[in-house]
Amino acid sequence: MVDRVFWQRRLLVACAFALSCGGAVRARAQEPAAAGPAVRRAVDAVEALLARMTLEEKLGQLAQWAGGTSNTGPSAAAGSEQDIRAGRVGSFLGLYGAETTHWLQHIAVDESRLHIPLLFAYDVIHGLRTVFPTPLAEAASWNTDLAQRTARAAAVEASAHGLHWTYAPMVDIARDPRWGRVVEGAGEDPFLGAALAVARVRGFRGSPADALHATSMLATAKHFAAYGAAEAGRDYNTVDVSERTLQELYLPPFRAAVEAGVDAIMPAFNEIAGTPMHAHRTLVRDVLRGQWAFRGLVVSDYTGISELMVHGIAATPQVATTRALEATVDVDMIADFYLDQLPGLVRTGKLPQKLLDDAVRRVLAAKVRMGLFADPYRHADAARERDNALTPASRALARTAARASIVLLKNERAVLPLKKKLKTLAVLGALAEDAWSTLGAWQAAGLPKDSVTVLEGIRRAVSADTQVVYAAGASPKSADPAGLDEAERTAKRADAVVLVLGESSDMSGEAHNRSTLGLPGAQDALFERVRKLGKPLVVVLMNGRPLAIPELAEHAPAILETWYLGHEMGHAVADVLFGDVNPSGKLPITFPRAVGQVPIYYNHKSTGRPPRAEEVYTSKYLDVAWTPLYPFGHGLSYTTFSYQKPKLSATKLGAGEALTVEVTVKNTGPRAGEEVVQLYLRDDAASVTRPVRTLRGFQKVALEKGASRSLTFVLDQEDFALLDDKLKRVVEAGTFTVYVGGSSSTDNQASFEVSSTTRLPGLGPAIPRMLR
């Protein structure tokens, strides 16, 4: 007891200081010199504790254990209470619930020798009890404020259920829709990806600095790095990207997350050019911790450390352990390699004690930062849990987010919006009543029974006189055509048809990759039957990735991309179908025409022979156009917008000068609407090749019918800079083109010139200007 009081007092004081002075405990124990007194006190307290720990207790802090499940929900796996008492557990994965976490915390705090509290971690990716749109869907809103609010709401719920730590945001850039994990990220663009990474980190933490509170969660940016570049779109597969592509494409969202104060980074399962990320000293230790000055935790992915043996870079568990710790991976999720191997390695001097101690310091610092030494139970509060589970407010936010995530891909002859007063409306497709699929991958504690399906949403929205008739017709799960006749008969009776097509939610997500990107099962056949009837027809797509659907794009009069929108999916889809809400989403990722075009993305290079139809020896295909089916940034509205030519503050810029781009956007259509105004930049000629355009700004603007607004964007050296052939930052003299419009294919442009070449120091800011 004396023990406990001794150091708890010290840590309590340290916590109070840490909480009141942003940045305090993020400074590492070995770097007190530059820090203020509060930092030093917090650091001293961690040091005092460290000095009292046995080797086994230290290793316990690095061990993350899996939770189990019981009839009543998540519970500790059999025997783990004894391990907590023995100080062999630092954190748990997948255990939540105020009662369960309170109980286990009590064992750690009152019954273990050093009374160190546990961390409870889980994948709260897009909600815990309330399920919001999947991250890819939400990225289509291009609304960082919204993304921050949904992350905040998720953290409020999850923290009330005893959770301290989320394994989100996933900030992997993905250019290959075969890869199932595209559903978890923000799409293909590093600028949009960085903006959403920052928003989500801020939302989960709920705090600008380190003043974490009872509704904060430690945020984790994952999977570091280039996980989305898996060869052939197969999850976990080999990655081999150039240093330039890493720096320009895959790393920026991670660096933005670090600048935004992310607490943890999770290495990816893949290797890059021969080195698996769990052993990647250059990227994890030297770049992340060294160059970027990241002071937080590196948590392995699930058994990522033991998998180093399977990768073939470690013949024994000792080697795998050594390589991971040397790369500064702090927490061993599930593999138990640290627990089992480190005692021998450290005692025999094969691994320096300091490496281990540094990892333990970082775990303790996270616990201090979370305020757990001051109040170990602040996240396990039964009353708060009761009051924060699927509340009307969180459902309302889920509906707002779901509406904003819907993308209108096509709308010929204004088929949409549908009238609510139709006599008979047919809804077809098994996905229309698939509650489970509304939730998408990573449903956490969300339940399908709480979901509003598309069918239900439509039924609730139509007029009392409208008859909604439903037939499943076809399912993504089966090629059986048995339901087609009935579906056709149902459609024949109707004045309009809503056809819900796509993938079930288990067709994307971790390890759920596809080699084709069309509609699975008999859904194509269902579409063919129905379209031939010539009725007003709307296709509602539910899917976790871009689909290659040229037939639909050609023959369906209207297509709504609705992804997986969470618990309020049905309401939100109906809101848009019947025009209560005007769609405003834009694609965060390119839709290909055929899987053979993959990878296809807007910010590609020119090549020496860009595709030209009339020229054989140019970069294209014999059997399909080279262009996307729907480009990045595409999305229509029930109104229309016109853009004036961008006006530039100067056509020639001197060294270090910024440029202001002004553009007037007008709502030229029949109703109010929102437009995502996108700004792209091209460096016309440089010492190395540059993408044909890159996104450098976006603003979402609401305009009444007939209204216009002038928007301003600022571009400066950070936007003009490139990495030269030595990968050093430089702004090179020459001409640039600015494009401003409603998608990445806009031709609305203006040119300017930068008159002199300037080298830029350091890395430059990673957080996009509008969020700095």
Give me the residues that bind ligand BGC (CB under 6 A), please.
93, 123, 167, 222, 301-302, 510
Shortest gap between Cβ of 221 and ligand BGC (angstroms)?
11
Count H helices and E strands in the chain, helices first: 23, 30
Shortest gap between Cβ of 92 and ligand BGC (angstroms)?
11
Q: Which residues of 229-254 are buried (b: 16+ CB within 10 A; e: fewer)?
A: bbeebebbbbbeeeeeebbbbbbbbb
Indicate which residue of 123, 172, 210, 301 is catalytic: 301
**Considering beta carbons, is residue 302 or 626 the nearer one to ligand BGC?**
302
**Considering beta carbons, is residue 32 or 94 the nearer one to ligand BGC?**
94
**Considering beta carbons, is residue 304 or 483 the nearer one to ligand BGC?**
304
Placement of tokens 């109070």 in the chain: 16
Report CA 306 to chain centroid distance, whole Å.
Answer: 26
**Considering beta carbons, is residue 266 or 426 the nearer one to ligand BGC?**
266
Placement of tokens 């497709």 in the chain: 429
> Which residue is closest to ligand BGC by CB?
167
Half-sphere exposure of 125 (CA within 13 A, CB side): 26
Polymer length in residues for the chain: 772
Residue 681's contacts (CB-CB under 8 Å, 6 or more residues apart) are 693, 694, 696, 715, 719, 720, 736, 737, 738, 739
DSSP per residue, 575-614: HHHTTSS------SSPBPSSGGG-S--TT-B--SS---TT
Shortest gap between Cβ of 510 and ligand BGC (angstroms)?
5
Shortest gap between Cβ of 442 and ligand BGC (angstroms)?
8
Shortest gap between Cβ of 376 and ligand BGC (angstroms)?
23
**Active-site residue 235, yes or no?**
no
**Considering beta carbons, is residue 75 or 270 the nearer one to ligand BGC?**
270
Neighbours of 747 (CB within 10 A): 6
Residue 221's contacts (CB-CB under 8 Å, 6 or more residues apart) are 169, 171, 197, 201, 253, 254, 257, 258, 262, 264, 265, 266
**Considering beta carbons, is residue 92 or 167 the nearer one to ligand BGC?**
167
Shortest gap between Cβ of 3 and ligand BGC (angstroms)?
34
Evaluate the CA torsion angle 175, 183, 456, 426 in order and state its sign.
positive
Instruction: Please name every residue paired with 666 in a beta bridge, in sequence order, or none if there are none.
Output: 642, 708
**Considering beta carbons, is residue 299 or 595 the nearer one to ligand BGC?**
299
Shortest gap between Cβ of 154 and ligand BGC (angstroms)?
15
Q: How far apart, in whole angstroms, are the C-alpha atoms of residue 664 and residue 626? A: 32
Q: How far apart, in whole angstroms, are the C-alpha atoms of residue 586 and residue 137? A: 10
Residue 550's contacts (CB-CB under 8 Å, 6 or more residues apart) are 593, 594, 629
The residues carrying an active-site annotation are: 301
